Structure 1
Amino acid sequence: MSNTQETLHHAHGGDLDAIQRKYQIPKEEIKDFSGNINPLGFPKSAELALANNLHLISTYPDKQYTALREAISTYTNANKDHIVVGNGSTELISTFIQTVAAKNSIVLGPAYSEYEREITLLGGGFAYFPLEEKNDFQLDIDHLIASLTKEIGMLVICNPNNPTGTAISTMDLERILTHCKAIGASVLVDETYIEFADNINEICAIPLVESFDNLFVIRGTSKFFAAPGIRLGYGVSSNKEFLHHLQSNQDPWSVNSLAAFVGEHIFSDFDFHKETQTLVSTERQKALDILSTWNNIKAYPSSANFILLKLLTDKTTSAAIFEHLIQKKLLIRNAASFTFLDETYLRFCILAPEDNANLLMALKEIVE
């Protein structure tokens, strides 16, 4: 594999600029199934409100982000005083890991590479706890708890998990948190994709924040609200010492005025929330039903807006499929770069019905 190909395959999904440079395909013509972004795009109500308030660019945001935190509180039912905001969920992940400064951490894997990166940058030790393919990547709770010894200072969970789409129930999260509290470990739960789940109330960790001060829940707006450009993330924790430390170590005005204003609007656009959840749920199930009839691919059930696939044939690889589909201006994620996965795995996200149908038709031509 060339250096350029390796870089592309290890990059985050949705890097259309890199794809455009390598393949000389205008990025506007590419159907991006790799970035996991809401196919409905940015909420129109917020877009209109933003267009009418661009004068805010000349103002500083409220240092306390009071209105923004109130909007998030209403949206999540979290205590406003337990909410912090940041320059994307990535900043909050980084700041949380810096604040905990655990000597040893466990990350459920396969996983988003940013967790590993931040832990490593701080010189911490970490190990991946495997979500195993033989269990369809569902978590073995007993095995995990046995692995969480007193030497472990932090546990990182993405729920639903990227790239597997599997989710842990709130009940099981409570069991994990109880054990982590007993051994003095902090827990980071990244809920970037939870709003796409059919059963959000059964897997959400935010209700547990009041009872567990070793828990920090993080969400962003890049995926569900199709707003990666505003760089707005938020977190929920009841640990006063941690919240103070987090806010003290953040750059002033980490969230800009326009992002704060947008946040005050997107969380109350309930029609957009419902339309997104209906579209993703319907199209996800449709795709899973179709894929279940194929012989050479296994599709794993998903609670997110993407589906992980495993090739059951040796006549092609995920890299070869990536190359074939990009020539058709269809961009999927070669999942071989994720820990524990290999060249038999690929991932695609849910887009508009016509786009999903076109992708599945093109994929079927290759593998079936």
Structure 2
Amino acid sequence: MSAETEISAETGISAETGISTETGISSETAEGERRMQEKKRYRHGGEADQKVAVRLDFSINVNPLGLPQGVKKVLQEGMDALTRYPDPECSRLREALSKYFFLPREDILCGNGASELLMLLALARKPKKVLLTAPSFFGYERAFKRSGANLSFYFLAREDHFAIREDYLSCLQRENPDLVVLTQPANPAGNLIAEERRMRIWRYCKEHGIFLLVDECFLSLVKGGEDHTMLPFLVQDPNLMVLRAFTKTYAMPGLRLGFVLSSNLSLLLQMASYQPEWSVSVMAQQAGIRALQEETYLQESLHLIEMERDFLRRGLRERGMEVFFSEANFLLFYTEKDVAESLLKKGILIRNCSNYRGLGRGYYRVAVKKRKENEELLRALDEVLEEERRGEIHGDHTSFTGRN
């Protein structure tokens, strides 16, 4: 191949001919197929190829109490608002968030879920090199790859329950990225970054001009979570941004509502310039404003999650699963048994984590739900394990009689 014919390592498409080196099809078709494969790879919970009806969905990590009653009422009574265009600046919602977090309204940008805001940050900041942890949420990788960034990964270890170790700073120094993403708490593991370690990472980034994005989308569902937020430090560092969402906290993924907080006003304006008009719907804005008033709901949620997470953790361990430490509203576990497919046949969907970078076959994540649902999951697991045990016995018996 001549030096002029460059092949993209990501797409396998020749820059000279526009033909895929693997299939001989046009670049447009090859790119379309690549994006379809990418979409399959970046699959979220709740998106499994379902051949049976799902009765219980443990794959999405939303608040087990469900949508707050006050939010339901606002949505039911606010249908007339659908005849109007949404406020493109989310003024009332940002004002409510400002009062809730005691931060200036100008420091807040709302978006169509956390995923949109990640893409807006990638487009506005255009980092050359990004350091991510693995395993972690696919949305980071997807957004920054789309903006052309080179990605490097700090791999979390099973023996550490997938927590960030002391050597993270050494990795940070070695990789020297433009932008770093931390998740607090981690997803899919659910652990928090130790406070001293988190502060040392932030100070290093601040001193070296590295942009730090902290994803706190699950932090409101962690008991004492607000003691671990980076929000108080925003005023000190324009290269610090916090990402949050209503999706998980208030069990409203279908409405798509997230927000970022930063004292870097020029960056927020840049992000907003890439945002489509009316990105956040009327109903999402109304729901968000009402959700911020649900203090009792959040207190009840934290109590329920703590109690049911412990119950579910014990139940999984009693059934031979290796369960990793979590302070969030979900649990990551490992088993050599292929339980996801068998549970799905019983109408129960759990998150198969084999497509997470840094994990593989045998890793699963389950959301913490109410007691009745958690008990049903454990009963179904008992049935699955018993069916597998009987199958092994039958297989051994068949094999034995076959030799004689």
TM-score, normalised relative to structure 1: 0.89
Task: Determine if the alignment matches structure 1 residue 221 to structure 2 residue 239.
Answer: no
Structure 1 residues 7 and 49: alpha-carbon distance in aligned structure 2, compared to 1, 3 A threshold? closer
1:76-225 aligned at under 5 Å gives the runs: 76-140=101-165, 142-149=166-173, 151-225=176-250
Q: Which of the pair has more CA radius of gyration?
A: 2
Match of 1:360 in 2: 378
Task: Determine if the alignment matches structure 1 residue 66 to structure 2 residue 91.
Answer: yes
Give the superposition deviation at 1:331: 0.7
1:203-282 aligned at under 5 Å gives the runs: 203-282=228-307
Give the superposition deviation at 1:8: 7.3
Give the superposition deviation at 1:366: 4.1
**Residue by residue, what CA displacement relative to the aligned partner does 1:139-185 show, whole Å, maximum 9, x if unpaired?**
11x31111223731011112111101111145433221111122221
Structure 1 residues 69 and 213: alpha-carbon distance in aligned structure 2, compared to 1, 3 A threshold? same
Which residue identity lines up with residue 341 of structure 1 in the other structure? L
Give the superposition deviation at 1:303: 1.8
Give the superposition deviation at 1:62: 2.8
- Counterpart CA distance in 1 for 2:99 and 2:304 is 24
Aligned residue for 2:303, secondary structure, equals helix
Which residue identity lines up with residue 346 of structure 2 in the other structure? K
CA RMSD of aligned residues (A): 2.2
1:31-70 aligned at under 5 Å gives the runs: 31-70=56-95
Task: Determine if the alignment matches structure 1 residue 298 to structure 2 residue 322.
Answer: yes
5+ residue gaps in structure 1?
1-5
Give the superposition deviation at 1:292: 4.0
Which residue identity lines up with residue 143 of structure 1 in the other structure? D
**Residue by residue, what CA displacement relative to the aligned partner does 1:165-218 show, whole Å, maximum 9, x if unpaired?**
111145433221111122221111111111111120232121221222111111
Aligned residue for 2:236, secondary structure, equals coil
Which residue identity lines up with residue 334 of structure 2 in the other structure? K
Structure 1 residues 213 and 174: alpha-carbon distance in aligned structure 2, compared to 1, 3 A threshold? farther
Which residue identity lines up with residue 121 of structure 1 in the other structure? R
| Structure 2 contact 123–271 (Cα < 8 Å) conserved | no
| Structure 1 contact 71–268 (Cα < 8 Å) conserved | no
Match of 1:342 in 2: 360
**Residue by residue, what CA displacement relative to the aligned partner does 1:195-244 show, whole Å, maximum 9, x if unpaired?**
11112023212122122211111111222211112111111001122122
- Counterpart CA distance in 1 for 2:362 and 2:297 is 36
Structure 1 residues 211 and 179: alpha-carbon distance in aligned structure 2, compared to 1, 3 A threshold? same
**Residue by residue, what CA displacement relative to the aligned partner does 1:298-325 show, whole Å, maximum 9, x if unpaired?**
11121211100022xx4x2xxx211110
- Counterpart CA distance in 2 for 1:38 and 1:335 is 20
Aligned residue for 2:247, secondary structure, equals coil
Which of the residues 282, 303, 309 maps onto 2:333? 309
- The share of aligned pairs that are identical, in percent, is 30
